[in-house]
């Protein structure tokens, strides 16, 4: 029978529904009609499914339970049936379906069939399951959180809490949900909190998480306690929420208060310790100044051999005692956190020369060769603390000499450049007794020595290495040691220095006429030859090396015959086959005009030996680079561009200008030190006026004219810094040039120097002060332009 117009319209409408599979069932549940959407959803074509029971869409589990029949019965009884569940496609795959079945009746109410609408909602179900899983995870995390967590809506109402919130605030969950969050805040703080909450909520797009805000919480029983609150915004499609994590910080606050109290006690203790160190430094260095100064004056007087031996002993003992005092004070400063490094430009070669000069005599007395070497590529101009670098090197070299009876000690510097800084590696290697492996781990500890027995052969306090290690650490490096018992040890450390800009580097030791000059270096020690070669090459000299007398003479004669004669010979005095005098005589026969420089390991230079050898220059090993350069220039008639170095303050006293006597005010409370200064100035054109305290110094300065003031810092009545400031105030009122003030003090730290300069002092000399050092300072400052006359 052809379809009526209404039937056609109904079919078109049904076919137009894209998301639902709509089909008709007869009263027994057989498929009576099939749509294109049903074919897409369930996979059957119309000719395959029409006339078959709709039960084929159900899972085996549903069929076994008779579920399809119950569905039709229910729909027939109440008119419709809705459910969701798994359905099966033609290929056996399953999908989650939303199903609605409606009973169709005739005019008598008899069921004549069913309409069935099926929709594939698998993706929706998966999304719901993911959401449910997320919610479950969120609740699990929320419940396990160590902090109390509250979810608060835009109106400040609590929407959700965890178990920790119940425990923290003492409320049950049902007592909190729906309440204003201000219930958990003391009444006096609620207005401020409400205003803050409203202001924070007004700018949801720009607000940021607030972490670590310390607030005051209120428990149900009325007890207030400190809390730390972290806020995090939660933006949903329908509303804005805030998650508040609340932590009880009562114990932490107690600990913080305890730490504050402990820190204050530590600071007080450090201040007390610093004051004690300053006092000890003054009390120890002041008498040491008199002891060492008087011994130096006694050494300069006429003494018989026995007296000179006695003076030499207590000079040496005094110097050792001063080093011990310095070590103890350094250790105390480090422990108190008051140990600071200077930053100033210095020359590495100068530091190494100073170490060699100070330690060379000890090495020669033991017959040990001291070999300093600066490897090629090492920058000489650096910025750092030269005094502390020298202190570490002196300690390591001194230890090496102490524990080495034969052989050599090599001091080597290498470069490990790192960008805008210079990382230098220093190694002090010896051929001494070595250190047992089990002692290497403890030798850098304070007061510890490798051999600590009472009858140990070598003395010492065990402080030097520990302090050196700490200084090196402050320099950005580390100090380590390797050793083989019976063969020697190597102490190696690195240190970081700031690089000097090229335009600030000093032009040092350049020689005008070294180009094309050839030097023959004769030495049986291969390390010495290596050092000589690198040094001569750095000065632009071409060198050839010989290790024996025979090799040296043969090479010297061969060069003469090849028309490539040497311009200079640097000759070791002790060679394995012949002595240097014999070698020099042989070379003189070949070339009578050849300049010769003799290097010797003995500290005594016999003028007759020099005359016999016919040498133009003579130096004792280890020879400083600056001295070697001077000898080479003199031997070859060259002139260095660099200025001549200033004489060592400890060796050559400055000769005062006798044309005009200086009027000097000396403020010093120690009678011994006043006698010492007077003795230092004996025979000099100085007029000294002594006062015993700072107040008297100010009074004397206000009444008389002086060209220089020597000011002790720690004095009774008025200290030296206060007195210096008072003198500067007097000068400002008077007008005219300022009188130089030199601080003479037992306080030797960087902070002490800064305090002296800030108070108005022009210079700072730390006690004990040698005669040469004091006279040099007097001449430098008392004679400078602008000094009062």
pLDDT tens digits, 561-574: 888 889 899 998 88
- Total residues belonging to the chain: 789
Question: What CATH number belongs to 344-504?
Answer: 3.30.565.10
% of the chain exceeding 90 in pLDDT: 13
Lowest mean pLDDT among 19-23, 151-155, 668-672, 696-700: 19-23
- Tell me the C-alpha distance between 687 and 670, whole Å: 19
Q: What is the pLDDT of residue 725?
A: 94
pLDDT category of residue 288 using cuts at 50, 70 and 90: confident
Q: Who wins on pLDDT, 770 or 168?
A: 168
Common-topology check for domains 518-636 and 662-782: yes
Lowest mean pLDDT among 128-142, 215-229, 307-321: 307-321
HSE toward the beta carbon, residue 105, CA cutoff 13 A: 12
| pLDDT of 559 strictly over 50 | yes
Cα–Cα distances (Å) from 432 to 177, 402, 410, 429, 725, in that order, read 82, 9, 12, 9, 54
| pLDDT of 653 strictly over 50 | no
Q: What is the pLDDT of residue 107?
A: 87
Tens of pLDDT, residues 724-734: 999 999 999 88
pLDDT category of residue 644 using cuts at 50, 70 and 90: very low
Mean local confidence (pLDDT), 112-121:
88
- Tell me the C-alpha distance between 481 and 477, whole Å: 14
| pLDDT of 662 strictly over 80 | yes
Please give the mean pLDDT across all residues of the chain: 80
Place of tokens 């609740």: 139
Lowest mean pLDDT among 246-255, 625-634, 656-665: 656-665
pLDDT category of residue 244 using cuts at 50, 70 and 90: confident
- Tell me the C-alpha distance between 128 and 131, whole Å: 5
Q: What is the pLDDT of residue 386?
A: 86
Q: What is the pLDDT of residue 201?
A: 64
Say if residues 21 and 118 touch (Cβ distance below 8 Å): yes
Tens of pLDDT, residues 440-474: 777 777 545 544 443 344 445 557 788 888 889 88
DSSP states along 676-714: HHHHHTTTSSEEEEEESSHHHHHHHHHHS--SEEEEESS
Q: Name which CATH class applies to 518-636.
A: alpha beta
| pLDDT of 362 strictly over 50 | yes
- Tell me the C-alpha distance between 740 and 665, whole Å: 11
- Tell me the C-alpha distance between 10 and 250, whole Å: 75
HSE toward the beta carbon, residue 480, CA cutoff 13 A: 5
Pairing relation of β-strands 596-600 and 568-572? parallel
Q: What is the pLDDT of residue 15?
A: 56
Say if residues 680 and 774 touch (Cβ distance below 8 Å): yes
| pLDDT of 158 strictly over 70 | yes
DSSP 8-state symbol, 565: -
Tens of pLDDT, residues 30-86: 988 888 888 888 888 888 888 888 888 899 998 888 888 888 888 888 888 998 899
| pLDDT of 435 strictly over 50 | yes
Count the Cβ atoms, other than its own, within 10 Å of residue 236. 7
Residues 6+ apart with CB under 8 A from 766: 285, 745, 746, 747, 748
pLDDT category of residue 697 using cuts at 50, 70 and 90: very high
| pLDDT of 633 strictly over 60 | yes
Mean local confidence (pLDDT), 733-760:
81
- Tell me the C-alpha distance between 244 and 606, whole Å: 92
Q: What is the pLDDT of residue 336?
A: 61
Place of tokens 């203790």: 269
E strands, 155-200, in order: 158-161
Buried b (16+ CB within 10 A) or exposed e, 14-52: beeeeebbbbbbbeebbbeebbebbbebbebeeeebeee
Tens of pLDDT, residues 496-516: 888 777 666 554 444 455 777
Lowest mean pLDDT among 27-36, 205-214, 543-552, 706-715: 205-214
Q: Which of 126-135, 177-186, 533-542, 637-646 is most confident? A: 177-186
Q: Quickly count helices (H) and strands (E) in the chain.
A: 24, 27
Q: What is the pLDDT of residue 649?
A: 33
Q: What is the pLDDT of residue 16?
A: 52
% of the chain exceeding 70 in pLDDT: 80
| Architecture label for domain 662-782 | 3-Layer(aba) Sandwich (3.40)
Lowest mean pLDDT among 482-486, 656-660, 715-719: 656-660
Structure token pair of residue 667: 């403020």
Q: What is the pLDDT of residue 770?
A: 79
Structure token pair of residue 69: 């029949």
Q: Who wins on pLDDT, 299 or 12?
A: 299
Q: Name which CATH class applies to 145-248.
A: alpha beta
Question: 5-122: which CATH number, 3.30.450.20, 3.30.420.40, 3.20.20.70, 3.40.50.720?
Answer: 3.30.450.20
Domain boundaries, the chain: 5-122, 145-248, 267-335, 344-504, 518-636, 662-782
Question: What CATH number belongs to 267-335?
Answer: 1.10.287.130
Place of tokens 């006096």: 188
Q: Is the pTM of this model over 0.85?
A: no
Structure token pair of residue 400: 């090496």
Pairing relation of β-strands 111-120 and 94-105? antiparallel
Q: What is the pLDDT of residue 510?
A: 46
Q: What is the pLDDT of residue 349?
A: 87
| pLDDT of 586 strictly over 80 | yes
């Amino acid at each position: 029978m052809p379809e009526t117009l209404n039937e056609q319209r109904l079919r078109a409408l049904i076919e137009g529904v894209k998301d639902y599979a709509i089909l008709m069932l007869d009263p027994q549940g057989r498929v009576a009609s099939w749509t294109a959407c049903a074919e897409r959803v369930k996979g059957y074509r119309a000719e395959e499914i029409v006339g078959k029971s709709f039960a084929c869409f159900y899972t085996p589990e549903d069929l076994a339970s008779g579920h399809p029949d119950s569905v039709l019965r229910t729909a027939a009884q109440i008119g419709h049936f809705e459910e969701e569940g798994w359905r099966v496609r033609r290929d056996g795959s399953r999908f989650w379906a939303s199903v609605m079945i409606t009973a169709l009746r005739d005019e008598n109410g008899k069921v004549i069939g069913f309409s069935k609408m099926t929709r594939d909602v698998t993706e929706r179900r998966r999304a719901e399951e993911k959401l449910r899983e997320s919610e479950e995870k969120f609740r699990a995390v929320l419940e396990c959180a160590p902090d109390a967590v509250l979810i608060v809506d835009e109106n400040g109402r609590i929407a959700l809490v965890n178990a920790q919130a119940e425990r923290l605030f003492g409320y049950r969950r049902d007592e909190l949900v729906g309440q204003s969050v201000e219930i958990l805040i003391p009444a006096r703080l609620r207005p401020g909190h409400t205003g803050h909450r409203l202001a924070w909520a007004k700018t949801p797009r720009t607000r940021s998480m607030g972490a670590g805000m310390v607030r005051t919480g209120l428990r149900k029983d009325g007890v207030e306690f400190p809390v730390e609150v972290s806020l995090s915004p939660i933006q949903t499609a329908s509303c804005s929420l805030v998650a508040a994590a609340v932590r009880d910080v009562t114990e932490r606050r107690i600990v913080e208060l305890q730490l504050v109290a402990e820190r204050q006690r530590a600071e007080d203790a450090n201040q007390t310790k610093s004051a004690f160190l300053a006092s000890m430094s003054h009390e120890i260095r002041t008498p040491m100044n008199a002891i060492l100064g008087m011994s130096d004056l006694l050494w300069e007087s006429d003494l018989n051999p026995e007296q000179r031996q006695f003076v030499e002993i207590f000079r040496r003992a005094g110097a050792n005692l001063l080093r011990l005092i310095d070590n103890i004070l350094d250790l105390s400063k480090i422990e108190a956190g008051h140990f600071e490094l200077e930053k100033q430009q210095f020359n590495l070669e100068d530091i190494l020369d100073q170490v060699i000069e100070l330690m060379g005599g000890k090495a020669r007395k033991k017959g040990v060769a001291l070999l300093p070497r600066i490897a090629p590529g090492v920058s000489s101009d650096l910025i750092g603390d030269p005094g502390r670098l020298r202190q570490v090197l002196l300690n390591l070299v001194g230890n090496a000499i102490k524990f080495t009876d034969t052989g050599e000690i090599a001091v080597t510097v290498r470069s490990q450049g790192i960008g805008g800084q210079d990382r230098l590696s220093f190694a002090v290697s010896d051929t001494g007794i070595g250190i047992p492996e089990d002692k290497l781990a403890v030798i850098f500890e304070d007061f510890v020595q490798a051999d600590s027995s009472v009858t140990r052969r070598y003395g010492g306090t065990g402080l030097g290495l520990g302090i050196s290690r700490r200084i090196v650490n402050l320099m950005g490096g580390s100090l380590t040691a390797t050793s083989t018992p019976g063969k020697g040890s190597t102490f190696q450390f690195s240190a970081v220095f700031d690089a000097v800009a090229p335009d600030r580097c000093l032009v040092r030791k350049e020689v005008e006429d070294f180009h094309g000059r050839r030097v023959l270096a004769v030495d049986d020690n291969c390390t010495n030859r290596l050092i000589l070669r690198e040094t001569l090459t750095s000065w632009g000299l071409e060198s050839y090396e010989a290790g024996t007398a025979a090799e040296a003479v043969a090479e010297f004669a061969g060069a003469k015959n090849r028309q490539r004669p040497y311009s200079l010979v640097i000759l070791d005095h002790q060679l394995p086959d012949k002595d240097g005098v014999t070698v020099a005589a042989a070379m003189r026969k070949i070339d009578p005009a050849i300049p010769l420089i003799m290097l010797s390991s003995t500290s005594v230079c016999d003028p007759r030996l020099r005359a016999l050898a016919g040498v133009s220059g003579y130096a004792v090993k280890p020879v400083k680079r600056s001295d070697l350069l001077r000898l080479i220039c003199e031997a070859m008639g060259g002139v260095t561009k660099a200025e001549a170095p200033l004489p060592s303050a400890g060796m050559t006293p400055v000769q005062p200008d006798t044309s005009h006597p200086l009027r000097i005010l000396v403020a010093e409370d120690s009678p011994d030190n006043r006698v010492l200064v007077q003795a230092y100035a004996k025979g000099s054109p100085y007029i000294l006026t002594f006062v015993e305290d700072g107040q008297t110094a100010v009074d004397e300065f206000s009444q008389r004219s002086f060209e220089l003031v020597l000011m002790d810092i720690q004095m009774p009545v008025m200290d030296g810094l206060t007195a210096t400031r008072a003198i500067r105030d007097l000068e400002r009122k008077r007008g005219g040039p300022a009188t130089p003030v030199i601080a003479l003090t037992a306080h030797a730290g960087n902070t002490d120097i800064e305090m002296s300069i800030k108070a108005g002092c022009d210079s700072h000399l730390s006690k004990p002060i040698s005669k040469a050092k004091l006279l040099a300072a007097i001449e430098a400052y008392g004679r400078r332009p602008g000094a009062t006359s």
